[in-house]
Structure 1
Amino acid sequence: MSGSIEELFTWNPRSRGLDHVGIEDDSLRDGLQGAFVRHPSLEVKKSLVESSAAIGVEAAMLGFPSSSPGAHAEAAELIDHLDRRGIPLVPRFLALADPASIAPITQLNRNTDRDVWADFFVGCSPLRRRVEGWTLDSVLERITAAGTAARDGGTRFGVSLEDATRTPAEELDRMVHAAVGVGAEVLTVCDTVGESTPEGAAHIVRAVRESVRRAVAGLPTAGRGADVKIWWHGHDDRGLAVANAIAAAEAGADTLSGAFLGLGERAGNTALESVLMYLYQAGHQGYRMDRVVEHCRRLAEATGSPVRRNAPLIGDQAFATCTGTHVAALVKARRWGREAEDLVFSSVPAAALGRTQTIMVGPTSGRAAAREALASVGAPADDGNVDAVLARARTRDRWLEPSEIRELLDVRSASA
């Protein structure tokens, strides 16, 4: 953990070598697959792409152009917006492992000076192949056909290995060799149903990296091209998505893919705001953490996805407390500076997010909280007012709003 407080100790191992880790924002593609997620208008999407890039996100998955003429037109509009505004974001678009699905992305790529990437997915696991009626050989053929179409069309591309975390090593190795052999520059290891544990995520990232090394070594020297990057894309079905993404990064993943707010189908994708905070606290200087909260709130409104109050980092309660001993410690910590106040009862620096520690008064509060609550409404924190606020709070089953405190003081003043 970053910080200059000498007394701050942790049993966590120090994270090293994560300065290179990039972020792909899949909020406006995979994130919108959630069954109860509202789809924003194109104009709102443009604004959200812009604010995501302002955080420092390097790449974004922005749609599935072959799915409909409307999707293709929207993709073109988003690219044009990036070009006109000079937004330094790599636009990526999803495709089936089919030359016909690659073709619209190649067309988009030819209409701009920036690289527009294709990313096609293949179902890897034996279970998925059985359900779909695919063979391993047919999957390999599809990788080769789609990759050849992208390469011959001058489009840089990656391959998403869907359900990779439930695919045997020897089968995954053959898919990696096929993808690298045809020119893939990114291989995304997908924990499609969120079944991984952190140990499993690290293990598969290392295994795929070794498969890539062998595949590249087997190519003719003239055909080796750019380094092949390993990306991680996970889901949160078991509540482990953020932990898995961290483990993947520690194991050598170059980029972590997810969605802000953890948007997505079923339990959602990896929550990028939490991943970004981990990278920030590990020393990564590439992201504007002070822009994360506002972006998340705008995304929540645009998609009809309310932020729960106790959501890490962005929820209303993330840096709020009523509890007596905790409040007292916060107040005492102020004499040592903002950093001490931020961390005495939190592992996350609220200041990095542009937020502050919020002290409220409720049934579990003590005198320190009452004094802070009175100060927040500009009232004197004398013993009488403190006693009155605490007496009122202990008759309630929740916190007191500032308006309720003012009303109480007005009643006291009128009866004096």
Structure 2
Amino acid sequence: MNHSELIYDWNKQANGFDYGSCRVVLNDETLRDGLQSPSVIDPPMEAKVRLLHLMAGVGVRAADIGLPGAGPRVVEQVRILAREIVDQHLPIDPNCAARTVVADIQPIVDISQEVGLPIEAATFIGSSAIRQFTEGWTMDKMLRATEEAVTFAVGHGLPVMYVTEDTTRAQPETLRRLYATAIECGARRICLADTTGHATPAGVRALVRFVVEEIVEPSGEAVKVDWHGHRDRGLGIANCLAAIEAGVDRVHATALGIGERVGNAEMDLLIVNLYLLGALDQDLSGLVEYCQAASEATGVPIPASYPVVGSDAFRTATGVHAAAIIKARKKGD
């Protein structure tokens, strides 16, 4: 019997979305957002370079390689990673995080020009009312910061991804004004960030539809949309899939889900899900090494029960199930 006769896939009946036709890009945040976890080790440079190669081997096509505005040490690390991409012809488009201030963007400009590689400036600013209240920001101040940062980056030849932090708790009109300003100033990618892991899949779909239909399409510009999610409610992967189904172009995640607080969406699990859904045609033989390398480099252990790559992922201690596996193997399955 063939596979389709043995297994009926109800997932394909769910909502009519054709994953096989989507062309979503994966952006790996392990080397930046992943290292904001309070429990990780900051890996040595050779480990970061190795992870960059392993990312490319599992289908990742974009990666955040650091926040050079943090200081000279990070600037040098970003320079090394960017040069590695150039010298080794890695199929990865790099980006660097930056606050919406010129001082954070200038080192990205310098590194980009030095290594001869376009580096996307991922300029971010808080967008929720609670963040505005905490910081004492006015809308005018946020709009000025957005305009100055995006204009500076674009004027110096950098592609820009404009990121609104805490998008999933922000007012629609605030998002409309911030994104519209960034797009008018030349940003051709915007990122919706679930910074506190607040969103549900239904909320993600509503947010993406709003941004695409009410902001991106009326702009008349070819603006790409990214999704960046955390897993505080345990919905990281579910929200990534919801964002893809709603029409985003790129999704962010980290190896093993490492990241601030309880972490980001898990890149390895996202890759497996996209592969099983038909959205990713990729040799995944390097996935275990990718996860193990991330674990070793950051000091984050892989639980035995972790899906796909955990030591118990394909083991059972149940007699009935073990017997069924033995019977299947005897039949060549």
- Give TM-score scaled by structure 1 length: 0.76
The equivalent of 2:182 in structure 1 is 179
Mapped to 1, the partners of 2:241 and 2:199 lie a distance apart of 12
The structural deviation recorded for 1:322 is 1.8
Give the secondary-structure state (helix, strand or coil) at the position aligned to 1:211.
Answer: helix
Q: Which residue of structure 1 aligns with residue 242 of structure 2?
A: 247
Name the structure 2 match of 1:369.
none
CA distance 1:172–1:152, shift in 2 (3 Å): same
Match of 2:284 among 245, 264, 289: 289
| Deviation for aligned residue 1:141 | 1.3
1:182 and 1:256 map into 2 onto residues whose CA distance is 24
* Match status 1:149 vs 2:152: yes
Distance in 2 (CA, whole Å) between partners of 1:7 and 1:134 is 59
Aligned to 2:270: 275
- Partner Cα separation in structure 2 for residue 215 and residue 60 of structure 1: 29
* 1-structure distance, mates of 2:259, 2:80: 23
How far apart are the structure 1 equivalents of 2:61 and 2:99? 23
Partner of residue 295, structure 2 = 300
Greater alpha carbon shift after TM alignment, 329-338 vs 138-147: 329-338
- Distance, in Å, in 2 between the alignment partners of 1:200 and 1:336 is 46
How far, CA to CA, are the matches of 2:230 and 2:90 in structure 1?
A: 28
Per the alignment, residue 29 of structure 2 pairs with 26
1:122 aligns with 2:125: yes
- The total of aligned residue pairs comes to 328
What secondary structure, in the 3-state scheme, does the structure 2 residue paired with 1:174 have? helix
- Report Cα offsets for 1:101-155 as digits up to 9, x if no partner: 1111111111233311110101000001100111122111111110000011111
1:191 corresponds to? 194
Say if 1:285 and 1:235 are closer, same or farther in 2 by CA, change over 3 A.
closer
SS in structure 2 opposite 1:247?
helix
So what's the TM-score if we normalise by structure 2?
Answer: 0.95
Query: Aligned AA for 1:198?
Result: P
Is 1:101–2:104 an aligned residue pair? yes
Who is 1:6 aligned against? 5
Alpha-carbon distance in structure 2 between the residues aligned to 1:285 and 1:161: 28
Q: Which residue of 1 aligns with 2:322?
A: 327
2:109 partner letter = T
Q: Does the aligned pair in 2 maintain the 1:177–1:215 contact within 8 Å?
A: no
Cα deviation per residue 1:159-195 (whole Å; 9 max; x = unaligned)? 1110000011121111111111111121110000001
Q: Report the structure number with the largest CA radius of gyration.
A: 1
Q: 5+ residue gaps in structure 1?
A: 218-223, 339-416
**1:180-231 CA-partner distances (Å, limit 9, x unpaired):** 11111211100000010011011111111113334423xxxxxx4xx21111
Q: Is this contact kept in 2: 1:164–1:172, CA < 8 A?
A: yes
Residues 341-380 of structure 1: matches in 2 within 5 Å?
Answer: none
Tell me, what secondary structure is at the counterpart of 1:319?
coil
Q: Which amino acid aligns with 1:114?
A: L
Report the identity percentage.
36
Match of 1:168 in 2: 171
- 8 Å contact from structure 2 (residues 271, 280) kept in 1: no
Deviates more, 1:37-46 or 1:104-113: 104-113
Query: What is the correspondence of 1:53-68 to structure 2 with a 5 Å cutoff?
Result: 53-68=56-71
The alignment status of 1:71 with 2:56, answered yes or no, reads no
Is the CA contact (8 Å cut-off) linking 1:76 and 1:108 kept in structure 2?
yes
C-alpha contact 1:176 1:211 (8 A) present in aligned 2? no
Aligned partners of 1:8, 1:40: CA distance in 2, in Å? 42
Q: Do 2:306 and 2:313's aligned partners in 1 also have CA atoms closer than 8 Å?
A: yes
AA matched with 1:324: G
Indicate the residue corresponding to 2:232 in structure 1: 237
**Does 2:258 match 1:263?**
yes
**What secondary structure does 1:183 align onto?**
coil
Which amino acid is 1:325 matched to? V
Does the 8 Å CA contact 1:99/1:146 hold for their aligned counterparts? yes
Q: Give the match's secondary structure for 2:5.
A: coil
Which residue of structure 2 aligns with residue 46 of structure 1? 49
Letter in 2 for 1:45: K
Give the residue type in structure 1 aligned to 2:18: R
The residue matched to 1:159 in structure 2 has which SS?
A: strand
Q: Is the 8 A contact 1:260 1:272 kept in 2?
A: yes
Aligned to 1:239, the other structure's residue is in SS state: coil
Aligned residues of 1:181 and 1:215 also touching (Cα < 8 A): no
Whole-angstrom distance in 1 between the partners of 2:116 and 2:331:
52
Deviation at 1:22, TM superposition (A): 0.8
Which letter maps to 2:250? Answer: T
Q: Secondary structure at the match of 2:234?
A: coil
CA distance in 1, matches of 2:60, 2:331: 34
Contact preservation (8 Å) 2:31, 2:65: yes
Q: Which has the higher contact order (CA 8 A, sep 6+)?
A: 2
Cα distance, 1:337 vs. partner? 4.0
What is the SS of the residue equivalent to 1:172? helix
Contact 1:57 1:287 (C-alpha < 8 Å) held by counterparts: no
**Could you tell me whether the CA contact under 8 Å between 1:276 and 1:287 is conserved in 2?**
no
